[in-house]
Chain A
Amino acid sequence: MDLQIILLLGQDGITNGAIYALLALALVLVFAVTRVIFIPQGEFVAFGALTLAALQAGKIPGTVWLLLVAGITVALLDGINLLRERRFSRLPPLLLANIGFPLACAGILWLVPPGGLPLWAQVVLAMVLVVPLGPMLYRIAFQPLASAPVLVLLIVSVAVHMAMMGLGLLFFGAEGSRTPSFTELSFEIAGAPLQGQTILVVLASAILIAGLYFFFERTLYGKALRATAMNRTGARLMGISASMAGKLSFTLAAAVGVFSGILIAPITTIYYDSGFLIGLKGFVGAIIGGLASYPVAALGALLVGLLESYSSFWASAFKEVIVFTLIIPVLLWRSLTSKHVEEEEE
């Protein structure tokens, strides 16, 4: 094992670690705000990557139909409530956002052949198609259970994951896809080749993390989310809507997931079920941060990436074992150092 190999492995680990870090942050965010352990996080990675791949192949991705169906479901759920409460003025914006918008997306895809669009437009289109699924998912699956115990939310989360994975197989087929590189640049550092794509992943992740930090520190919505995370009841008394906070956190999580998917799609082949494992590694990172601390979660995820990379060199057959066994000492250490607080029953 010479310096070059150490460098290459480190580079590989940091690239994957950056993606895991993004997902870990999204998991911490969703858990802090809604107490949902967001297992479908990984599905957004796969959906984002595969939607982009489908667009590039000039096909209409199946996520459009999912968006339409989810939108109509949300419109029905909320619409009936509004009708019952006779708040008719709120109906048009609701219909516009949940039915008009997906229809507009489908219309654009119908009119403009997606294969011919420039890459950035395809990326934007993929984001626009998949990200709204986040808040819709929250409205359909989690909002009715918002005050349920963590365990119930976890079970629902698993169910959503299974459903989305099945839909993924239906939409994208069993075989994977890879998208072309964003950049063909390549450098050499200390004799080790460094791909431009790798730098792009690390840079984009860093920018996104900085953006999230800014969002939470400087904007009203970010502060509202933080307040909800700290004390749900208190936040509600201050006029922060719990369902707004939930939807917003799911939107952010979906956006982060889709963005990560688009970032890694050129590096590796993504399958309809790839997301789960990627998300799970982000989850290990989030656990290291106790599902509460953002910086520790990000560092933990980076550690997972590096550990994965070096263990794939030393003992490739046991790589996953090593990565997931990491959780045991972390949990031990956490349970020894932190005081266990019973979850308050509502």
Chain B
Amino acid sequence: MLRKISLAVLAAFSTAVLADINVGVSVSATGPAASLGIPEKNTFALLPQTIGGEKVNYIILDDATDPTAAAKNVKKLVTEHKVDVIIGSTTTPNSLAMIDTAFDSKTPMISMAGNAAVVEPMDAKRAWVFKTAQNDAHMATAILQHMVDNGVKTVAFIGFADAYGEGWFKEFAKIAELRKLQVVASERYQRNDTSVTGQILKILSAKPDAVLIAGAGTPAVLPQKTLKEKGYKGKIYQTHGVANNDFLRVGGKDVEGAMLPVGPLMVAAQLPADNPVKKSALEYVTKYEAAYGKGSVSSFGGHAWDAGVLLSATIPQALKKGKPGTVEFRTALRDALENVKNLPAAHGIFNISPQDHQGFDQRARVMVTIENGTWKLIK
């Protein structure tokens, strides 16, 4: 008898939970990618609490920048929490580790990682995976375009000795060859290195017109500081991985003049009024800074916000096809995500198609430079 009652209670309880929409989140709020993961985590508190009249529960787990933990998290989200959609993770390796479970459980997944490998090449598994962050190739073309326009002929590369640096080098070298730019040096360093003198001396001896530093966050300061210290006078490019205010704080006057491509939200206020992204980007910046203080916004949190934008646009459509917690709902959500058209978000305009699960175009990036300790749009 007791068992029957408890079963009945359980059943009643679980249906109550199933009526809500459960969003499972795995972010790298600790570990090496913590500076990216923390603003993402902060952003989930700002996402809508009800979509299409249904309550939304965000179940947020930390994967400590560890692919194994990310894989574990996603299993837990799918089996224990019965989530309808997965958001995560922060980094490419972690996102890749999550794809299998998303596919097996037929749960749409929205990654916030940079590398195109998360959604390309399109196959049966990746059909369930979407991505809000610009592909590295988007950003690399912006840098190369700027280099070519400014008469750069030879370029040196220094990047992290990990997936981020390697991914950038591959993209960059490929496009550089097409644009007839000569890569004269390719160096690596660790984010925790206390010195990059050796690498910088080697770069200097190759006498490049420009140097590209492919690092994320404050560790990207060290190469630029060393370049200046050793008297390098050429152009210095950074990647969008440095676009947070800690980079400016740690870099100080050493990073003045660096040029980099970023999502438009970093300079939302400076965008011309007719820019289609301006309004949606400003919305996020205002909300985030109202909650976490002025100047606290970083481009990474924007990727989490954009995942919320995608969900707000697609969940109402999916609700017509099925109840949350069912496979029909999840499939309908996936189909709706694949057909998002002209949706303005914090980082750009989504135009998702069955072949392109990222969906941004050149409106999703602008070139900025660092001037007097702030980001300045290059017109």
In the assembled complex, B342 has its CB within 8 A of some CB on chain A? no
Contact present for B190 and A313 (CB under 8 Å):
no
Contact present for A312 and B195 (CB under 8 Å):
yes
**Cα(A156)–Cα(B214), bound, Å:** 37
Stretch from A9-17, A220-228, A288-296 contacting the other chain = A9-17
* Nearest B residue (CB) for A53: B250
* Nearest A residue (CB) for B201: A5
Contact present for A309 and B195 (CB under 8 Å):
yes
State how many residues of chain B have any CB contact under 8 Å with chain A. Answer: 36
In the assembled complex, B221 has its CB within 8 A of some CB on chain A? yes
**A 1-45 contacts with B by CB, 8 A:** 5, 8-9, 12, 15-16, 19
Determine the interface band of chain A, counting residues with CB < 8 A from chain B: 35 or more
Most buried by A among B191, B195, B219: B195
In the assembled complex, B197 has its CB within 8 A of some CB on chain A? yes
Render A160-182 as a binary contact track against B, CB cut-off 8 A, 1 for contact.
Answer: 00000010010001111110000
Render B213-224 as a binary contact track against A, CB cut-off 8 A, 1 for contact.
Answer: 000011101100
* Contact partner, A175, options B161, B196, B250, Cβ 8 Å: B250
Chain B residues lying within 8 Å of A177, measured Cβ to Cβ, are: 249-250
Chain B residues lying within 8 Å of A12, measured Cβ to Cβ, are: 195, 197-198
Chain A residues lying within 8 Å of B194, measured Cβ to Cβ, are: 16, 19, 264, 267-268, 274, 278
**Cα(A311)–Cα(B197), bound, Å:** 11
In the assembled complex, B55 has its CB within 8 A of some CB on chain A? no
* Contact partner, B195, options A15, A169, A178, A320, Cβ 8 Å: A15
Contact present for B195 and A310 (CB under 8 Å):
no
**Cα(A15)–Cα(B218), bound, Å:** 22
Chain A residues lying within 8 Å of B219, measured Cβ to Cβ, are: 176, 269, 271
* Contact partner, A8, options B158, B197, B217, B249, Cβ 8 Å: B197
**Cα(A19)–Cα(B194), bound, Å:** 11
**Cα(A166)–Cα(B34), bound, Å:** 12
Render A254-293 as a binary contact track against B, CB cut-off 8 A, 1 for contact.
Answer: 0000000000100111010110111000000000000000
Name the distance in Å between B289's Cβ and chain A's nearest Cβ: 18
* Nearest A residue (CB) for B244: A175
Most buried by B among A8, A174, A319: A174
Contact present for B161 and A317 (CB under 8 Å):
yes
* Contact partner, A309, options B32, B34, B198, B218, Cβ 8 Å: B198
**Cα(A76)–Cα(B221), bound, Å:** 44
Contact present for B190 and A277 (CB under 8 Å):
yes
* Nearest B residue (CB) for A20: B194
* Contact partner, B198, options A264, A267, A313, Cβ 8 Å: A313
Chain A residues lying within 8 Å of B30, measured Cβ to Cβ, are: 166, 169, 174
Contact present for A5 and B205 (CB under 8 Å):
yes
Q: A277-B190, A317-B188 given as contacts; is B201 within 8 A of A269 (CB)?
A: no
Chain A residues lying within 8 Å of B230, measured Cβ to Cβ, are: 8, 193
In the assembled complex, B189 has its CB within 8 A of some CB on chain A? yes
Chain B residues lying within 8 Å of A5, measured Cβ to Cβ, are: 201, 205
* Contact partner, B188, options A19, A175, A274, A316, Cβ 8 Å: A316
**Cα(A176)–Cα(B158), bound, Å:** 20
**Cα(A19)–Cα(B193), bound, Å:** 13
Contact present for A9 and B35 (CB under 8 Å):
no
**A 298-338 contacts with B by CB, 8 A:** 308-314, 316-317, 319-320
**Cα(A276)–Cα(B201), bound, Å:** 26
* Nearest B residue (CB) for A274: B192
Contact present for A269 and B190 (CB under 8 Å):
no
Name the distance in Å between B340's Cβ and chain A's nearest Cβ: 32
Contact present for A277 and B35 (CB under 8 Å):
no
- 24 of the cross-chain contacts (CB-CB < 8 Å) are A5-B205, A8-B201, A8-B230, A16-B195, A19-B194, A169-B30, A174-B34, A174-B37, A175-B246, A176-B218, A176-B219, A193-B229, A269-B219, A269-B250, A271-B192, A309-B195, A309-B197, A310-B198, A313-B202, A316-B158, A319-B161, A319-B188, A319-B190, A320-B161
Interface residues of B (CB under 8 A from A): 30, 32, 34-35, 37-38, 158, 161, 187-199, 201-202, 205, 217-219, 221-222, 229-230, 244, 246, 249-250, 252
17 further A-B pairs in the complex, CB-CB below 8 A; given A173-B246, A274-B194: A8-B201, A9-B201, A16-B194, A169-B34, A174-B217, A176-B219, A177-B250, A178-B252, A268-B194, A271-B191, A277-B192, A311-B198, A312-B193, A312-B196, A312-B198, A316-B187, A317-B188
